[in-house]
Amino acid sequence: MARELNEEDIVRAVERYKPLRGQGTLANTLMFGRVLKDLGFRMGLSQVIDANRSMPLIDIRSRPDFHRALAANMLHDHEDIELFDQVFEAFWQGDAEIEDGIETMEVPAQSPDEALESSDDSGGTVEETLAEQEGAGDDSPMDPDPLMVPTYSPNEQLNEKDFSEMGIEESRAVTQAILLIASKIATQVSRRKKRARRGTEIDPRGTMRRNIKYGGELVELVARKRRIKKTRVVLLCDVSGSMDCYSRFLIQFMYGLQNELWGVETFVFSTTLSRITHLIRTKNIGNALEKISKSVLGWSGGTNIGRSLEIFNRDFAVSMVTHRTVVVVISDGWDRGDVGVLERQMQALKRRCGKIIWLNPLLASENYEPLCKGMQAALPYLDLFLSAHNANSLVHLGHTMRRLVA
């Protein structure tokens, strides 16, 4: 739930349910659940019911205990803790109301069903609420159809539009799409992996089948094979100045992929290399981007691809890269470092890894030729040279990765 909510939103949500609030903890807990739902929390009736079941078990007069009991039942993500606390404070003002609740717990002013129904018109589903927030002031219609795999498009034009030409509104829509694409790709990848047979043990079905030719006597045993090495994907993204208008989107893509898929490592580089896997292991992409740009040296600065690769090969490749690893480099190839170093490092990387994919956002423009020295030096070692300038190209990349990784 990457939401930015301010106090006003919370106060408004709390106010909206004020007329519906009844006497007693049950009725009020229900309303509290509705408020949270309106603010984008995923909330089911079962959670509200369990929250209510918790009440008689704790000392309801102790505000911290009451808070904890509600949080344990209604909160599911530590990134929402702060928001939850704010809503809690706004909703349960003063201990008086809570204490009041114990006295009258048995007689809620409104029956739960009634309360739910009557609040429905003003409430709406989580999805609607989210859509409202996302689409506020947005002219381009969002079409969040989760079944379109993964050619999801907020809008055909946007799919084709170069990232560098997008305004803020458009980029918001595309960000959503990118995250969805990444998650669809990742789910499909993991499903394929599941089918790999497990364990170095006897496969009874295979054994039976193999031994039919001996008239059912067990002569040969068929063993299941375990996938020993996991395929990893290593993403290396250029965040130097020349890539500015693309890197934001690409990091979002990496973020989406990494959060869905096991075994993805993410790095960014400009003049030096930084591992950001741990920074984007969070639900809130806005925060993540901020964290990255704060902690990465040389963001939007110059480029030294050779040196960055050298650091990668020296410090990380040993433990991360095997012959199954797919390394994805995302860069326009504008390099201010020594081309010799770049070439040697590409060679070293190529020897170690399975596939190298280079994504170049400039590749899409008609008169682009990989003339800059850096790109030329890298070309011989690439397995794939793709473009990554718009949402469609990311979909294409997704398909390719699926083929390679699964």
Partner 1 sequence: MNLDSITVESIRDSLRERKYICDRSLATVVYLSVRLGKPILLEGEAGVGKTEIAKVLADVLQTRLIRLQCYEGLDSNTALYEWNYPKQMLRIKLEEIGSRDRESVETEIFSEDYLISRPLLDAIRTDGAEPPVLLIDEIDRADMEFEAFLLEVLSDFQISIPEVGTIRADKRPYVFLTSNRTREIHDALKRRCLYHWIEYPTFDKEYEIIMTKYPEVQKVMAEQICAFMQQVRQMNFYKRPGVAETLDWASALLLLNRAELDPEIVKETVGCVFKYREDLHHLEEELSGDKLDMDRILKEPATVVGGNAQ
Among 81, 107, 148, 223, binds partner 1 (CB under 8 A): 81
Element at 329 (helix H, strand E): strand 326-330
CB 102 within 8 A of CB 108: no
Q: Residues 163-167: contacts with CB within 8 Å, 24+ apart?
A: 163/245, 163/246, 163/249, 163/361, 163/389, 163/390, 164/245, 164/246, 164/361, 164/389
Environment class of 50 (CB within 10 Å of its CB; exposed 0-12, middle 13-18, buried 19+) = middle
Structure tokens at 114: 């009634």
Mark 174-193 with x for binding to partner 1 (rule: CB under 8 A) and - for no binding. Answer: -------------x--xx-x
Under the binding rule (CB under 8 A), the answer on residue 11 touching partner 1 is no
Under the binding rule (CB under 8 A), the answer on residue 218 touching partner 1 is yes
Under the binding rule (CB under 8 A), the answer on residue 230 touching partner 1 is yes
The three-class DSSP label of residue 227 is: coil
Minimum separation from the CB atom of position 204 to partner 1 (A): 4
Under the binding rule (CB under 8 A), the answer on residue 225 touching partner 1 is no
**Which range of residues in 43-51, 130-138, 164-172, 365-373 is near partner 1 by CB under 8 A?**
43-51
Among 16, 275, 352, 402, binds partner 1 (CB under 8 A): 275
Structure tokens at 103: 């006295």
Under the binding rule (CB under 8 A), the answer on residue 61 touching partner 1 is no
**Which range of residues in 19-27, 97-105, 255-263, 386-394 is near partner 1 by CB under 8 A?**
255-263
Cβ contacts of 228 within 8 Å, gap of 6 or more: none
Q: Which is nearer to partner 1, 20 or 116 (CB)?
A: 116
Nearest to 399 by CA among 178, 182, 175: 182
Under the binding rule (CB under 8 A), the answer on residue 260 touching partner 1 is yes
Q: How many CA atoms lie within 13 A of 390 on its CB side?
A: 19
Exposure string of 253-288, with b = 16+ CB inside 10 Å and e = fewer, is bbbbbbbbbeebbbbbbbbebbbbeebbebebbeeb
Minimum separation from the CB atom of position 268 to partner 1 (A): 14
Under the binding rule (CB under 8 A), the answer on residue 47 touching partner 1 is yes
Under the binding rule (CB under 8 A), the answer on residue 72 touching partner 1 is yes
Q: Which is nearer to partner 1, 62 or 118 (CB)?
A: 62
Under the binding rule (CB under 8 A), the answer on residue 202 touching partner 1 is yes
Beta strands 355-359 and 273-275, pairing class: unpaired
| Contact positions with partner 1 (CB under 8 A) in 118-177 | none
Nearest to 303 by CA among 265, 261, 334: 334
Minimum separation from the CB atom of position 295 to partner 1 (A): 5
Q: Which is nearer to partner 1, 202 or 379 (CB)?
A: 202
Under the binding rule (CB under 8 A), the answer on residue 299 touching partner 1 is no
CB 393 within 8 A of CB 387: yes
Q: How many residues line the site for partner 1 (CB under 8 A)?
A: 45
Beta strands 264-269 and 273-275, pairing class: antiparallel
CB 48 within 8 A of CB 29: yes
Among 8, 57, 121, 139, binds partner 1 (CB under 8 A): 57
Among 4, 11, 44, 125, binds partner 1 (CB under 8 A): 44
Minimum separation from the CB atom of position 26 to partner 1 (A): 16
Q: Dihedral of CA 256/262/268/269: which sign?
A: negative
**Which range of residues in 52-60, 98-106, 237-245, 355-363 is near partner 1 by CB under 8 A?**
52-60
CB 196 within 8 A of CB 406: no
Among 12, 213, 225, 227, binds partner 1 (CB under 8 A): 227
Q: Give me the residues that bind partner 1 (CB under 8 A), please.
A: 42, 44, 46-47, 50, 53-54, 57-59, 64-65, 68-69, 71-73, 75-78, 81, 187, 190-191, 193-194, 196, 198-199, 202, 204, 218, 227, 230, 259-262, 275, 278, 281, 283, 295, 315
